[in-house]
Structure 1
């Protein structure tokens, strides 16, 4: 397992400590979890679980139905 040293301003460190404590995690585990979230290539399970939760949300085809073609961009 790798080991990393980071330097934080005091105010940021205090906020990080409070966040780690409220999550019942060590500072190291809290930081590792944050990094894992940032580098993840898939949606978190909590987001996947919400798919289809809004019964009145329009389908993609409905959303795209009113789109118009973009105008041509100016060249540089």
Structure 2
């Protein structure tokens, strides 16, 4: 297992200590959990579970509602 050194100001250190204690874990475990949560490059499972659950949700290509015309563009 690797180690990392973090330099935190006093206020941030206090937040980490409070959060770890409130969650009943060590500071190292709390920081590791936060890194896993926010650095993951995948969709959350709740989001994946909702895929396809809205059968009446229209896709843009399937929309029958007329869209307004684009505004004229200015050339450069």
Return the TM-score normalized by structure 2: 0.62
Unaligned runs of 5+ in 2: none
In structure 1, the partner of 2:23 is 23
Larger Rg: 2
Q: CA RMSD in A?
A: 3.3
1:74–1:59 CA distance, 2 compared to 1 (3 A): same
Unaligned runs of 5+ in 1: none
Superposition pairs of residues 1-76 of structure 1, within 5 angstroms? 1-49=1-49, 51=50, 58-61=57-60, 66=67
Cα displacement (A) at 1:38: 2.0
Distance 1:73 1:24 in 2: 60
